Amino acid sequence: MASPELDQAIALFRAGKEETQSFTTVEDFRVWYEQFTGQFELPEDAVFEQVGAGGVSAEWISTPGVADDRVVMYLHGGGYMIGSMRTHRSPLSYLSRVSNARVLGLNYRLAPEHPFPAAVEDSVAAYNWLLEQGVSPGRIVIGGDSCGGGLTIATLVALKYFGYPLPAGGISHSGWTDLAHTGDSFVTKAEEDPLLDKEMLEGMAAAYLGDRSRTTPLASPYYADLSGLPPLLVQVGTAEVLLDDSLRLADKAKESGVDVTLEVWDDMPHVWQAFASFLPEARQALESCGEFVKKHTG
C-alpha cells in the first residue's frame, strides 16, 4: 500500500502542471522548475561544489564520509529543455549518502538553444574528464531521470561505440527512451499520470531533435544496439505515460545480453525519487540505487 505522503506528491505535480498551462516561453518553464524543486528540503550536511568537467558545467554533491573514488555521474531530467543540478540537489544528496559516493551532476547544454547531440557530447566529455582525473571506470555509475534516464543509456551506447572503457553500471529513473512515443502507456496511463502527457513530450522532442528522425538511436536509445552495455537498474512507476519506455527498454536490453534489474513501483508517478525529502517510496527507491552502486563498484 502506498504511503499517505504519496497524495501530497501527486497533488504537487497536478498543481504544477496546471500552473504551467499558460506558459509561453522556455524561460517561464525554467524559472518555474527551479522554484518548484526549491521547496524540497536539503540535508544540512550536504556539500555542493561547482566544477568544470571537461568543459561542461557541473556540480559535486556529497555527504560526509563518502568514498572519494566512487562516483555517480548524474544526468538530470527536464525534457532536454529545463532543469539543472540545483533542481536535483535534494534527491542527489540522499543518493550520495546511500551510495557512499560522490555525485557529479552535469549541467549539460539544453535545447532549443543547443539541440541534439549537445547533451550526449557533454555527457561523454564529462565521463572522459572523470577518467582523466584518475577515477577508475569500475568505480563509476552513470544515472539519470526522465530524459536523463534516456541520456544515460545513450551515453553508454556512445561510450561503447567510441571505445571508451565502460562504467560499472547505469541507472534510469522513469527514462524517456523512445522519442517516437510508440508505447501503449501513452494511452493506457494518460489519466493516471499527474504530470506528463504525449502533447507535452512531442513539443520537447521537436525542440531537441528538430528535423532529425525521432528514432535516432542516441536520442531514442530504445532503437540502439544495446549489446555489451554494463549492468542496468531501471526504475519506473505504474502511474506514468512513460511506463512502456522503461519496460520495453529493459526487455530489449535483456534480449541483448545485458544484466538488467527492472523495478516497477506500484502507483508511483514519474520520477517520484525527486520527492526524497518527504516521500518514503522515494527514499526506498534511492536506497535500492545505492545498493546497486555499491554492488557493482566494489
Give the catalytic positions in this structure: 146, 240, 270
Quickly tell me which residue has 520527492 as its cell: 275
Output the CA torsion sign for 44, 37, 275, 219.
Answer: negative
Q: How many CB atoms are closer than 10 A to CB 38? A: 12
3-state DSSP call for residue 177?
coil
- β-bridge mates for residue 172, sequence order: 144, 234
Taking every pair of C-alpha atoms in the chain, what is the biggest distance, in angstroms? Answer: 49
Q: Which three cell numbers stand for residue 238?
A: 505504474
My answer on whether omega of the bond before 112 falls inside 30° of 0, hence cis, is yes
Would you tell me how many other CB atoms lie within 10 Å of the CB of residue 237? 26
Name residues whose C-beta falls within 8 Å of residue 236's C-beta, 6 or more positions apart in sequence: 173, 174, 175, 242, 243, 245, 246, 247, 262, 263, 264, 265
Question: In whole angstroms, what is the distance from residue 138 CA to residue 231 CA?
Answer: 12
Please compute Rg for the chain using Cα positions: 17
